[in-house]
Amino acid sequence: MSKKDWWRGAVIYQIYPRSFMDSNGDGIGDLKGITSRLPYVADLGVDGIWLSPFFKSPMKDFGYDVSDYRAVDPLFGTLADFDELLATAHRLGLKVIIDQVLNHTSDQHVWFKESLQSRDNPKANWYVWADPKPDGTPPNNWPSVFGGPAWTFNARRGQYYMHSFLSSQPDLNFHCPEMQDALFDDCRFWLGKGVDGFRLDAINHCYHDSHLRDNPARPWTQTTSTQLDFPAPYAMQTHIYSKSRPENLALMERIQRLCDEYGAMTLGEIGADNANELAAQYTAPGRLNTCYSFSLLGGRKVKLTAAFIKNAVMDFFREGPDSWPSWAFSNHDVVRSASRFAPEGNPDPRLAKMLIALLCCLRGTPFLYQGEELGLPEAQLAYEDLQDPWGIALWPEWQGRDGCRTPIPWDSSNRHAGFTSAHKTWLPVPPCHIGLNVENQQSDRDSVLSFTQQFLKQRKYLPALIRGDIAFIDTGREDILAFTRTSEGQTVSCAFNLGETDQTYNGDMLPPYGYRLQTKAL
């Protein structure tokens, strides 16, 4: 990989700091804990890590509500701890991408505390404020992703402020140049420290319609971007005015120019029904390096079929033939893939292995979520153990995002599987995860972990899988996915059995969740 575009085809490992490793015995993962486990991450064969937020925050949305963009939250450690983590990762040959949550801040951020004081203070326009309708109701019909209106009334200003997510996460006003300049200065702080890139959270939310027009209605069954399998207000609108605005494209160009100054990469997160179309727009020349969407992450009880994979990939390249995508089957916001794609939700290590191979054979940059390399299933939690405000609000219809955020099981040394020495963890380690701990799997040549290490190291010697073109083959069967990856001098033919029974393809027997790679020099 060249130094400039090292991210093309690189495998990135996502770390959710609260749940990776606790170093100080408080039951919550931290930066020193991550640093202590970086040799394990490097040994997986990945090229870099993405760290979910560790910034100072009241933790109403567990770090995605930032109160100080330049400070490490004491829960996770100090700036010196981050510097040590960064230096250790680089010494091990790992790139480091960090989250940047630009759409909104915490309501505890000093900017918002000043903004709400009056309508004419220096930061009055740094957030999205609007007058009530004559009857006192919110300015328009926009809902919050997490339920309820996207507007909360503030008595001091006599106005509503907008929040795409929790009411404690007010949206920044990107129509305000002074705010943008201050936000970019905060980004420079981390680039100056030497981070290798930004993952841009909810980046298509940044701009809103300045006229605050109502979103049109849409039957909730037509949406593809939600995880929920029951009606929710957010899924009942087409969000043409509250997000994904045309003005956002110029913002993508400004972000990319900033990161280019430091040789850092950009990864956009896009949540929308037209995600592939937006991703292509956002990664056009001069804009972001790459984007990922929920096309392989979200949806309601998606069945793993050849068409599901093929359509997502082909849709992206149809919209942006020269763009570079990123793909993921799991992250901190969705049901773990080992459960989501399993029939009846029953995990199977053969499926977990095949999903890792499939993800890392697609054209693009694959992102593995911590625990995916162990084949961890979704944890089922009791109501009293829930922490996610979204899940608490929707219980018992949905438990929220906590089921994919439970601590990593490292060994069987204590009841928390080696994650912490604390009496209690912030989320419990589910009993079904303890036997899948890292120590056990490292000594088992047939484990998901051993497979992941072997496959990723093999992949480094197959340039066609890293940067090659992709061409799908019509197998005529929903449970057989086949395609070729071709680069200069090499073609790799890939065939995957997505089903639970033996299948024959081109004369070869593919066992349940089996696959075949054939390499040919050109």
Bridge partners, residue 172, by sequence: 127
Is there a contact between 94 and 49 (Cβ–Cβ < 8 Å)?
A: yes
Cα–Cα dist 307/274, whole Å: 18
Residue 213 in tokens: 């027009």
Is residue 485 within a helix (H) or strand (E), and if so which, with residue range? strand 480-487
Q: What Cα–Cα distance (Å) separates residue 442 from each residue in 19, 40, 213, 374, 385? A: 20, 10, 56, 10, 30
Secondary structure percentages of the chain, helix, strand, coil, to 5: 30, 20, 50
Q: What is the 3-state secondary structure (H, E, C) of 112-165?
A: HHHHCCCCCCCCCCCECEECCCCCCCCCCCCECCCCCECEEEECCCCEEEECCC
CA-nearest of 20, 14, 33 to 81 is 33
- Which tokens belong to 65? 């509500």
Enumerate the CATH 3.20.20.80 domain ranges in the chain, comma separated: 12-103+177-458
Note the pLDDT of residue 427. 98
407 and 427 in contact (C-beta within 8 Å)? yes
Output the six-digit token pair for 198: 């930004």
HSE (side-chain half, CA atoms, 13 Å) at 422: 18
Out of 201, 315, 373, 479, the active site residue is 201
CATH 2.60.40.1180 region(s) of the chain? 468-521
| pLDDT value for 343 | 87
CA–CA dist 492, 351 (Å, integer)? 21
CB atoms within 10 A of CB 14: 23
User: Rounded to whole angstroms, how far apart are CA atoms 279 and 260?
Assistant: 19
Rounded distance between C-alpha atoms, residue 98 and residue 94, angstroms: 13
Q: Could you give the CA distance from residue 457 to residue 112 in angstroms, rounded to a whole number?
A: 47
Burial letters 372-399, b for 16+ CB under 10 A, else e: bbbbbbbbebeeebbbbbbbeebeeebb
Distance (Å, whole) CA 331 – CA 177: 33
d(CA 204, CA 213): 18
DSSP 188: H
Q: Say what the alpha-carbon torsion angle 393, 399, 404, 410 is, to the nearest 10 degrees.
A: 110
Q: For residue 390, what are its two tokens?
A: 């979204």
- Of 131, 178, 229, 261, which residue is the catalytic one? 261
3-class secondary structure per residue, 493-517: EEEEECCCCCEEECCEEECCCCEEE
**CB of 505 closer than 8 Å to CB of 480:** yes
Residue 70: CB atoms within 10 A of its CB come to 12
CA pair distance 491, 15, nearest whole angstrom? 33
Rounded distance between C-alpha atoms, residue 433 and residue 246, angstroms = 45
- The yes-or-no answer on residue 201 being catalytic is yes
198 CB burial (10 A radius; 0-12, 13-18, 19+): buried
d(CA 473, CA 483): 5
Alpha helices in 234-348 (DSSP H): 248-262, 275-282, 306-319, 337-340
Identify residue 101 by its one-letter amino acid code: V
By three-state DSSP, how is residue 330 classified?
Answer: coil
Q: Output the pTM of the full model.
A: 0.97
Q: What are phi and psi of 480, to 5 degrees?
A: -120, 115
CA distances for 130 relative to 148, 165, 410, angstroms: 17, 17, 50
| Residue 277 annotated to the active site | no
Enter the CATH code of domain 468-521: 2.60.40.1180
Q: Is 313 exposed, middle or buried (0-12, 13-18, 19+ CB in 10 A)?
A: buried
Please give the angle made by the CA atoms of 437, 299 and 473, to the nearest 5 degrees: 90
Per-residue pLDDT of the chain (522 residues; tens, 9 = 90+): 457 899 999 999 999 999 999 999 999 999 999 999 999 999 999 999 999 999 999 999 999 999 999 999 999 999 999 999 999 999 999 999 999 999 999 999 999 999 999 999 999 999 999 999 999 999 999 999 999 999 999 999 999 999 999 999 999 999 999 999 999 999 999 999 999 999 999 999 999 999 999 999 988 777 766 667 777 889 899 999 999 999 999 999 999 999 999 999 999 999 888 888 999 999 999 999 999 888 898 765 678 999 999 999 999 999 999 999 999 999 999 999 999 999 887 889 999 999 999 999 999 999 999 999 999 999 999 999 999 999 999 999 999 999 999 999 999 999 899 999 999 999 999 999 999 999 999 999 999 999 999 999 999 999 999 999 999 999 999 999 999 999 989 999 999 999 999 999 998 899 999 999 999 987
Structure token pair of residue 264 = 């850092």
Task: Enumerate the β-bridge partners of residue 419.
Answer: none
What is the DSSP secondary structure assignment for residue 427, as one 8-state letter? Answer: S
DSSP-assigned beta bridge partners for residue 516: 495
Angle between helices 349-359 and 448-459 (to 10 degrees): 20
Predicted pLDDT at 2 = 53
User: What top-level class would CATH report for the domain 12-103+177-458?
Assistant: alpha beta
